[in-house]
Amino acid sequence: MNKRIYLCLAHMSGKEQKYIQEAFDTNWVVPLGPNVNGFEDDLRQFVGQDKEVVALSSGTAAIHLALIACGVQAGDEVICQSFTFCASANPVTYLGAKPVFIDSEPDSWNMDPELLEKAITDRKEKTGRYPKAIIPVYLYGMPARIDEIMSIAAKYNIPVIEDAAEGFGSRFDDQVCGTFGEYGILSFNGNKMITTSGGGALVCPDKAAKDKIMWYATQAREAYPYYQHEAIGFNYRLSNICAGIGRGQMTVINDHLAHHKHIAQLYKEAFQHVAGITYHDNPSARHDSNFWLSTILLDDNMHVRGEENAYAEAVSGAVGGAAGVVHAGGSVHTDCEPNRNVEAMRLALDKEGIESRPLWKPMHKQPVFRNAPAYINGNAEAFFKRGLCLPSGPMVSDEDVQFIINSIIKNII
C-alpha cells in the first residue's frame, strides 16, 4: 500500500465549481451574497424543526455568539462536556466566564446527565447562582442522552447550546442533532461531514434570534449613514466563496452520511471477532450516529508490537499535520496519556501509511483548565487512555478499511 489513508479527508462533489464561478462572475467575493443565502436555506431545510440558520466563519465562532445570545458574561459559569475538543470550552473563556466540566456516561461517551444535575445544584450552593448555559457535545457524531439533558436544563431554566460540530446529520429519536436546544453548533471544517474549507453555522430558534446573531457577526452596526457602534461585534460571517463550496457539498450530504455508516458497519463486523477490541456503536435504537469518525477501545491487557518503544521519543510536530504550528512538548510524558499499547498501535499504523489518533484528551486534564471545577466519574479519562480514531471519511474505500483492519490485527501480539 503506497498511499496514505487519512482520518477524514474532504471530498468534492464536482458541483462546487458552479457556485464558486458564479461568485466570481458576479463579483460576490465578500462575506455575504447569493451563496451565503442559498447555503443557509439548504441548511435550514436539512435541520428542519422550523429553525433558522446563520452561516459563520467557524463552529467556534458559532459557540461564541451563542454564548453571547444566552447572556453569558464575565464571572458567569458555563457547564461544558469534558471529553471533547477544546473549541467547546475556549469561547467561554473569551467572555471572561468559567467552564465547569462534566464527565461522560459510559454508553454514548457524552455528558453524564446525573453528573450534570449534581453540578448544577452544587454550583448554586457554592456560588449562589446557577450556571448560565449548558454545552453538551455529540462526540465523533454519537448523539448524547439529549432528552435527559434537556429535561434537567428545563428544570433549572438553563439554556442548552448543542455542540453538533461532529454530529452533522446525526439523529436522536429521529430528530436532527443541533435542534433540541436553544442554539445548535455546526462545523464545516476540512475534515467534517461536509466542508466549506473552513466555516460553521449556528442553528437559531427563530428569525429574531437569527437577526441578533447576524448583527453581532457583522460588527454590531447601528442604523446610521456612518459607522456607529453601541456594542462589541465580531467579523464572523462566512464568505460567499466558501458558502459556494458548501452549497455543492449539500448535494452529497446524504451520500456522505451513508458512506460513513457503511464504513462503520465494516469495522463493527470485523472487530466483533477480535478479542481485546471494542468498537463504539450506537448504544440504542434511539441513537443514530453519523459515525463521523469510527472509534475503538483496546483492552488494557492487549499487547501490541513495539509497545516497549511506544514513548521512546517526544513528538516534535503536529500529528497528522493538520494542527498547523505547535509548541514542542519538551517531554515524552504528561500526567494523562494513552496507554502504551494504544500509542504502539498508532505508531504501527502510521508506518503502514494509516492515520489514526487518540481520542480527545479530557478538558479537565488539560493544564490550561487545571483550576476549573470538574465533576468526574473517571469515564472520560479511561476512554482517552484506551481509544483510537480510525479513518472514516468519503475517501476511505472498502479496500482501505480491510487494509486497516488487517494492519491492526497483525500488530496484536
Q: What is the Cα 412 distance to its own chain's centre?
A: 30
CB 133 within 8 A of CB 77: no
CA gap 238, 55 in Å, rounded:
6
Q: Per-residue DSSP letters for 104-146? A: B-TTTSSB-HHHHHHHHHHHHHHHSS--SEEE-B-GGG----H
CB 356 within 8 A of CB 393: no
What is the CA angle 212-53-281, rounded to 5? 130
Average pLDDT over residues 398-408: 98
In the sheet that holds 357-358, the strands lie side by side as: 277-279, 294-298, 387-390, 357-358
Nearest to 259, CA basis, from 159, 392, 165:
392
Identify each DSSP E strand in 165-291 by its residue range.
Answer: 171-172, 175-176, 183-187, 200-204, 277-279, 287-288
CB 130 within 8 A of CB 120: yes
For residue 406, name the pLDDT band (cuts at 50, 70, 90): very high
Average pLDDT over residues 343-358: 97
CB 100 within 8 A of CB 374: yes
For the chain, percent of residues with pLDDT exceeding 70: 97
C-alpha cell, 393: 471519511
pLDDT, residue 11, reads: 87
CA gap 113, 145 in Å, rounded:
7
> Which residue bears the cell 464572523?
236
Residue 391, pLDDT > 80, answer: yes
In the sheet that holds 183-187, the strands lie side by side as: 52-56, 200-204, 183-187, 161-163
Those residues whose C-beta lies under 8 Å from the C-beta of residue 348, and which sit 6 or more positions away, are: 304, 305, 306, 407, 411
Segment 155-180, tens digit of pLDDT: 999 999 999 999 999 999 999 999 99
Query: Is residue 254 within a helix (H) or strand (E), and if so which, with residue range?
Result: helix 253-271
Average pLDDT over residues 365-370: 97
For the chain, what is the mean pLDDT? 95
Those residues whose C-beta lies under 8 Å from the C-beta of residue 345, and which sit 6 or more positions away, are: 298, 304, 356, 388, 408, 411
Question: How far, in Å, are 50, 143, 200, 408 from residue 107 at the CA level?
Answer: 30, 10, 28, 24
CB 30 within 8 A of CB 239: yes
* Topology (CATH level 3) of domain 254-410: Aspartate Aminotransferase, domain 1 (3.90.1150)
Matching fold, domains 16-251 and 254-410 = no
Residue 1, pLDDT > 60, answer: no
Residue 407, pLDDT > 60, answer: yes
The domain ranges of the chain are: 16-251, 254-410
Rg, the chain, Cα only: 21
Residue 395, pLDDT > 70, answer: yes
pLDDT, residue 61, reads: 98
CA gap 145, 147 in Å, rounded:
6
Amino acid at 316: S
Average pLDDT over residues 64-86: 98
CB 80 within 8 A of CB 368: no
Pairing between β-strand 175-176 and β-strand 171-172 as defined by DSSP bridges: antiparallel
b/e map 305-330, b = 16+ CB within 10 Å: ebbeebbeeeeeeeeeeeeeeeeeee
The pTM of this model reads 0.95
> Which residue bears the cell 476540512?
190
Segment 281-331, tens digit of pLDDT: 999 999 999 999 999 999 999 999 999 999 988 887 666 555 577 887 668
CATH class belonging to 16-251: alpha beta
pLDDT, residue 37, reads: 96
CA gap 327, 335 in Å, rounded:
18
Those residues whose C-beta lies under 8 Å from the C-beta of residue 44, and which sit 6 or more positions away, are: 51, 52, 53
